[in-house]
Amino acid sequence: MSLLGYDPLTNFTGRAPIEAAAQGIELSPEDWAIRCNLVTIQDQVMQSFTAGHISTAEATALLATAQEALGGNGLEFVPGVSYRNLLIWRGKQHSAPFTMEMRATPPHDLTDKSVLDAFPRGPGSDVLNELMTASITLFADHPVNQKRIAEGRLPATNVWLWGIGKAPKLQPFAEAYGPRGAMITAVDLLRGLASLVGWDRIEVPGATGYTDTDYAAKGRYAVDALREHDLVCVHVEASDEASHEGDCGKKVKALEEIDTHIVGPVVEALKTYGDWRIMISPDHPTFLSTKTHTHGNVPVAMAGTGITADHFTSYGDTNAANSPLAFDEGWRTMGWFIKAK
């Protein structure tokens, strides 16, 4: 949200409602959306916040069981992609006890850590905790998990509920900044943001949201998208996933693939348009050493028309920290990028 030029402090209402927008789920003012991860917890430790990167088909089967046993009367378990799913709470049918003060820890912040003190807390948290506990029994002997265990893979032991919120209202990007935008991503969070700000969503075959994504296809589709759009955002989740796994080799490989198959072809295509610009940035730090998201500044690289080069010859955290160009409020970066002269 910040990278696209929207102040999270005034616009962010929760992660789940943004992902609901990606699926075209309409939320009334009384409704709540809740992120519903499938996870693997063993001996009260988060072994995998992705349930071993469970497939979408497996996740759909598990959520169908959750819906049959726990859903109804305003509660809707909605499959997404792989471990990333939703619970929709329809307030008119089922009075919601939540407030915006309720907090829940993202499971990706808990890798290899105890979950005992990380369950939802605050108004309405008891309801979410009861649903999470009930899912343990439902999934224990589920055919999906029996098959995964037999094949030596991690089971989805339960759902993890977090990211709760109500529908946000964002000013259309074209109204706020002018350019017509398009989003290329395999992640519902970014699909939802694109929908909420009025960008086109471009689906790329082979884009998985993991390290096995088709980088070259993303590069080709980005080049094509430039013909019809003023601004194209290519989002790649692979390096983040590698960091969550603490896998340095995978992370380096992901960065090399991004550079070779996306950045390179896009820059060459941009040069054919006359005036052009490119910006490269993470949306947050995810360190290999901690395997989790970290708050703080990120390095941004910009090039093209109207962008004056500084004296640095490489892109990274250290050089960025010493650059005179910095944006303490990240959401202001987009406006500068578009209007710099």
Residue range(s) defining the domain that contains residue 35:
27-165
What are the tens digits of pLDDT across the range 41-62? 999 999 999 999 999 999 999 9
Position 15 in a domain: no
Q: Mean of the pLDDT values across residues 305-333?
A: 92
Flag whether pLDDT at 95 surpasses 80. no
Give the mean pLDDT of the chain. 93
The answer on 326 and 229 residing in a single domain is yes
Position 122 in a domain: yes
Position 56 in a domain: yes
The answer on 325 and 187 residing in a single domain is yes
Residues 6+ apart with CB under 8 A from 40: 46, 47, 48, 51, 52, 154, 155, 156, 157
Q: Mean of the pLDDT values across residues 81-102?
A: 84
- The secondary structure element, H or E, covering residue 22 is helix 15-22
What are the tens digits of pLDDT across the range 218-254? 999 999 999 999 999 999 999 999 998 999 999 999 9
What total of structural domains would you count in the chain?
2
The answer on 184 and 289 residing in a single domain is yes
Position 7 in a domain: no
Residue 139, Cβ density class (10 Å: 0-12 exposed, 13-18 middle, ≥19 buried): buried
Question: Mean pLDDT lowest for which of 23-37, 82-96, 127-141?
Answer: 82-96
pTM: predicted TM-score of the whole model, two decimal places: 0.84
Alpha helices for 87-142 (secondary structure H): 125-140
Nearest by Cα to 85 from 135, 35, 33: 35
The answer on 213 and 151 residing in a single domain is no
The answer on 283 and 307 residing in a single domain is yes
The answer on 224 and 146 residing in a single domain is no
The answer on 194 and 90 residing in a single domain is no
The answer on 314 and 189 residing in a single domain is yes
Position 160 in a domain: yes
Residue 341 binned pLDDT confidence (cut-offs 50, 70, 90): low
- Can you read off the two tokens belonging to residue 128? 């979410």
Nearest by Cα to 222 from 285, 301, 276: 276
Residue 15, Cβ density class (10 Å: 0-12 exposed, 13-18 middle, ≥19 buried): buried
Residue 289, Cβ density class (10 Å: 0-12 exposed, 13-18 middle, ≥19 buried): exposed
The answer on 130 and 31 residing in a single domain is yes
The answer on 155 and 31 residing in a single domain is yes
Nearest by Cα to 166 from 9, 17, 21: 17
The answer on 207 and 79 residing in a single domain is no
